[in-house]
């Protein structure tokens, strides 16, 4: 066996470990039906996502609470880049403002994961 083979093999293994670790760090979290933001994260989300002009009235029979399914008549939007960079946990979610409350919505099943009040 060539003397350089063990060194090349060790280098390849080292690089593959670094690449795998880097890829693991870059994976995006999947949204869930519950989200627990700190007070600071909630304030940042409120500041970056709410716009009074986009406030929607709640449809009849819809209560704004964690776990509730958001009706199709409520328009949600993707979390903007500014908010996603400030609070990375928000990135996979959508949001809406209903009854002057910011709701963070799981896009896969439209369930409210977090309710934030100003």
**Cα–Cα distance list, 114 to 11, 14, 26, 39, 42 (Å):** 46, 41, 24, 12, 9
Integer Rg of the chain from CA: 21
Confidence grade of residue 22 (pLDDT, cut at 50, 70, 90): very low
Residue 85 lies in a domain: yes
What's the CATH number where 40 sits?
A: 3.10.450
pLDDT on residue 28: 55
Residue 7 lies in a domain: no
Residue 12 lies in a domain: no
Confidence grade of residue 3 (pLDDT, cut at 50, 70, 90): low
Residue 15 lies in a domain: no
What whole-number distance in Å separates Cα of residue 62 and Cα of residue 35? 20
User: What's the number of domains the chain is made of?
Assistant: 1
More confident residue, 22 or 80: 80
Confidence grade of residue 118 (pLDDT, cut at 50, 70, 90): confident
pLDDT on residue 12: 46
What whole-number distance in Å separates Cα of residue 11 and Cα of residue 92? 36
What whole-number distance in Å separates Cα of residue 26 and Cα of residue 32? 18
Q: Is the pLDDT of residue 55 over 90?
A: yes
Residue 21 lies in a domain: no
Residue 91 near residue 29 (C-beta atoms within 8 A): yes
| Angle made by CA atoms 84, 69, 115, in degrees to the nearest 5 | 45
Q: Write down the pTM of the prediction.
A: 0.74
Mean pLDDT, rounded, for 58-76: 95
- Domain containing residue 52: 29-117
Residue 78 lies in a domain: yes
């Amino acid at each position: 066996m060539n003397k350089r083979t063990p060194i090349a093999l060790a280098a390849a293994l080292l690089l593959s470990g670094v690449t795998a670790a880097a890829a693991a760090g870059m994976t995006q979290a999947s949204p869930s039906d519950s989200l627990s933001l700190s007070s600071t994260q909630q304030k940042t989300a409120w500041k970056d996502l709410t716009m009074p002009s986009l406030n929607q009235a709640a449809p009849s029979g819809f209560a704004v609470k964690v776990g509730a399914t958001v009706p199709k008549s409520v328009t949600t939007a993707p979390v903007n880049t500014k908010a996603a960079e400030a609070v990375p946990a928000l990135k996979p979610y959508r949001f809406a403002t209903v009854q002057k409350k910011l709701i963070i919505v799981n896009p896969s099943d439209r369930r409210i994961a977090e309710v934030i009040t100003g």
